[in-house]
Structure 1
Amino acid sequence: MVQPRPAAPTVKFVDEYCQWYKSLFPEVRSFEAFKYLHVGCVSELKRKTLPEIAKIVGLDNHQGLHHFLTTSPWDVEKLRALRLELILQVLKGRPIILIIDETGDKKKGNKTDYVKRQYIGNLGKVENGIVAVTAYGVFCGMTFPLLFEVYKPRERLKPGDKYLTKPQIAAIIIKKLELMGFKFNLVLADSLYGEQRVGRLRRLEATANPKGESGTNFISVLDELGLNYLVAIRSNHSVELLTRQHTQYLKWHKFKRVFSDLSSENRFIREIIHGKRSENRYWQITTDREKLPGNTTWYVMSKYPDLNKRDVGNFYGLRTWVEYGLKQSKNELGWADYRLTNYSDIERWWEIVCSSYLIVSLHSEQMQSSPPKSPSKLADHPWWDDGKGWKNILNNLRLIIQPFTLFNLIYPWLTVFPIPQLDLGFSKLQSIIYRLTSSVFIFLTHPDFYFSSA
């Protein structure tokens, strides 16, 4: 019996990370395409199109990558399950902060599944586009994607689709994550989810779910699961008051909003009490308590026992991690760079992007179980970044990828003008970097760990 050839190597940290998923790809070419797409997403390419990725990984054309995303027989759900299992193994039962939001991409025409004119949050206006509800985790300041689900407008439903509102989708996502074993010490969401009051959501559920299936009410699901949450609400948020009850605005308190880079800014917060104080508490946060500027004044509802004013301000400030995280995945890893129209194919691309995002997050000190090693010779590179943030790590991983991708770009010239010394020099450089690259994925090859996930 002829043994299948081994998959062509790429870069050490990509090869070792992708080994975790190897059982999903019985065909060696599919596994190679899986690795190539990760190299492409993490690389410095401005636009992560398949033809450009093919060039930097040394392929003659991009058809194999396109086949991998459209017709290759691998299961995106199994890939997602393994990715989430890997995160759970790294967390070791430790709770995370869960952030619920949505991301929209502008798309022309109406041939792409689930595209219509709708509000695109990152553009701040109504445009023709596609929207997905996303769930991100934050652990000790490091972000990583968990789940996403496309929003299916009523007008674009396919046979077999069921219409769900974005808050209903978010509620389902949270229940899925809870069943998988994720633990949350706080859930953050914007006003679309905070304003979905129980009565209104029940009516929406009855419309979207005529059979009476329960469990898709966003706020009630948080309450049902006993989760703490901070959600944005509108400035005109209304609360029913009993006779003779009134709303109180308590005194302003100054606090320091601490950002991810440890810089800080003075802000002000006060509690708003509607009638009697209850489990749900209401807050107003601003940068200017006199003028209350609209773009830097926020209204928040919390359910979090013994939460002090400073923590409300700083916890809610973590919402910026969503914008930060989506900026990285969209602009740096190519979330919106696909040229696909069927959602099943787009979902595969998005899952590859989420997996590529996780590679970067796993290289952070926060996500590693052992103390960080002393800097290797790689850190002597003049462009090496000693910062601890996600983008600093991405910069360094891109430097490690460079010899592999640059050689693939220059190799066609070496077929025209052979220069053995240049070929040998690149091979030696890649070998040195491969040897010096310390692995954070060594646990993936541990027999017990791998067996438990496979």
Structure 2
Amino acid sequence: MTAPRMARPTVRFVDEYCESYRDLFVEVRSFEAFKHLHAGMISEAKRKSLPTIAKVAGLPNAQSLQQFLVNSPWQARDLRQRRIELILALVAGRKLVLVIDETGDRKKGHVTDYVKRQYIGNLGKVENGIVSVDAYGVLDNITFPLTFEIYKPKERLKAGECHRTKPAIAAAMVQDLCQLGFKFELVLADSAYGESGSSFVRTLHQLELPYVLAIRSNHAVLLPKEQRVRTNRWREYDRQFSDGKRETRFIREIVYGKRRAQRYWQLTTDRDVLPSASTWMVMTWVKGLSYKQVGDLYGLRNWVEYGFKQSKNELGWADFRVTDYTSIEKWWEIVMSAYLMVTLHTPPMRPKGTIPPEQDDSGVVLSFTHHSAWGAGNGWKNWLNNLRLILLPWVSSNLLKPWLKIFPIPKLEQGFQTLTGLMNLFPGASITNPQKLSSA
């Protein structure tokens, strides 16, 4: 009996990470497409369309990638389950900050599943598009995606489907993540989820999860006749951003009747003008919360939201060209997997036993850090750029293949092979065995 062929390699750090999912794909060609999509999504290509990724991977066309998304028998839920297992092994019981958000993208026409005219938060207006509710975690100031679910407008429901509001979707997400074993020290969300009577807020109370939620400026609380609304004096606090910059801001508490565990706050950059673009209302349910903590915790949500946008802008969240949601869900799951692959290389999230390049005494790996474009920072975008440098010789070789078929230059081809071989000495930061990691 002929043994099945091995999957063709890409670059070591991509191959090692993707190996954690190898058993989910029956066909070797499917596993190769899986790896090619990861490499293409983190590449420097501006648009992550399938034809562009095919060029990056050195494929003759995008047919194999299209086949992988549309007809290959693998399931998005299996990929999500494996990714969640890897994250659970990585965090090893540590408590996370959970961020609930939604993301929308403009899409033309009405052929794509669940596309209609609806509010697109990224654009700040109603447009024809597609929207999902997303959950991502924060640990040591590094973000990583957890899960998502498409929002299905009533007018686009299919036979047998039930409409659920975005807060209801988010509430179910939090329950599912807790059941999977995640532990959360705080939940952050925007005003779409922060109304006190929503199913989302009720679920947080049932699970006893502290939260800091944005609320609308016209938020109201039903009070007995003898109680009134009062505001405390403005207090100044120093808001420090993730990039180290500081800004003076102001905060005051708004008390509806008697002060309760659920508290309300107003934050602004200018207490005299209260500019609409930089004045926020916040509802909290956190024991012993101080004024400054409110500002810092709500501010955390702002840069965390930016963290998820990186996956959209850099990895091609909205660049799919399929119309059925089964294929769209597969695309989004691979984007989240590619996002996790980058996250694993950030110093705070590296698996135990991973040797940082700057501490590797093997010589060649340490040389990577001498590249003029190599970044020494800890952030996700910094490490995406570093991984792109490692990937570059392989990508460049693939892009030049059509010319080298016309004008063969053996020494040039050999040079690219040698350079790619050196890049393969970069070990990456993969989680191949979650059980082994968690017991380390």
| 2:93 alignment partner in structure 1 | 93
| AA partner of residue 395 (structure 2) | T
Trace 1:264-275 onto structure 2 (pairs within 5 A).
Answer: 264-275=246-257
Q: 2:322 aligns with which of 318, 321, 340?
A: 340
Uncovered stretches (5+) of structure 2, i.e. residues with no partner: 359-365
Trace 1:227-376 onto structure 2 (pairs within 5 A).
Answer: 227-368=209-350, 369-370=352-353, 373=356, 375=358, 376=366
> Secondary structure of 2:267's partner?
strand
Q: Shift of residue 438 of structure 1?
A: 3.1
Q: Shift of residue 372 of structure 1?
A: 5.6
Q: Shift of residue 327 of structure 1?
A: 2.2
Q: Shift of residue 449 of structure 1?
A: 3.2
| AA partner of residue 414 (structure 2) | L
Deviation >6 Å, runs of 4+: none
Q: Shift of residue 426 of structure 1?
A: 0.5
| 1:71 alignment partner in structure 2 | 71
| 1:223 alignment partner in structure 2 | 205
| 2:361 alignment partner in structure 1 | none
Uncovered stretches (5+) of structure 1, i.e. residues with no partner: 202-216
Deviation track 1:112-145 (CA, whole Å, cap 9, x = no partner) reads 0001100000000000001000011111110111
Q: 1:438 aligns with which of 423, 427, 434?
A: 427
Q: Shift of residue 247 of structure 1?
A: 1.3
Q: Shift of residue 261 of structure 1?
A: 1.2
Task: Specify whether residues 65 and 450 from structure 1 end up closer, same or farther in structure 2 by C-alpha distance, changes over 3 A only.
Answer: farther
Deviation track 1:87-127 (CA, whole Å, cap 9, x = no partner) reads 11000000110111100010111000001100000000000
Deviation track 1:254-311 (CA, whole Å, cap 9, x = no partner) reads 1111111122111111111111110100101110111111110000000000111111
* TM-score of the pair, normalised by structure 1: 0.93
**Aligned 8 A contact 1:20 1:450 in 2:** no
Separation of aligned partners in 2, 1:350 and 1:412? 31
**Aligned 8 A contact 1:103 1:326 in 2:** no
Q: Shift of residue 413 of structure 1?
A: 1.1
> Secondary structure of 1:380's partner?
coil
1:429 maps onto 2:419 in alignment: yes
Deviation track 1:373-412 (CA, whole Å, cap 9, x = no partner) reads 3511101111111121111111101111000000001111
Separation of aligned partners in 2, 1:290 and 1:170? 36
**Which stretch shifts more, 93-102 or 319-328?**
319-328
* TM-score of the pair, normalised by structure 2: 0.95
| 2:363 alignment partner in structure 1 | none
Separation of aligned partners in 2, 1:415 and 1:10? 20
| 1:392 alignment partner in structure 2 | 382
Q: 2:397 aligns with which of 389, 407, 427?
A: 407
Task: Specify whether residues 157 and 9 from structure 1 end up closer, same or farther in structure 2 by C-alpha distance, changes over 3 A only.
Answer: same
Separation of aligned partners in 2, 1:132 and 1:103? 6
> Secondary structure of 1:194's partner?
coil
Separation of aligned partners in 2, 1:322 and 1:133? 15
**Aligned 8 A contact 1:143 1:321 in 2:** no
**Which stretch shifts more, 75-84 or 237-246?**
237-246
| AA partner of residue 427 (structure 2) | S
Deviation track 1:67-97 (CA, whole Å, cap 9, x = no partner) reads 0000100011010000011011000000110
Separation of aligned partners in 1, 2:53 and 2:438? 32
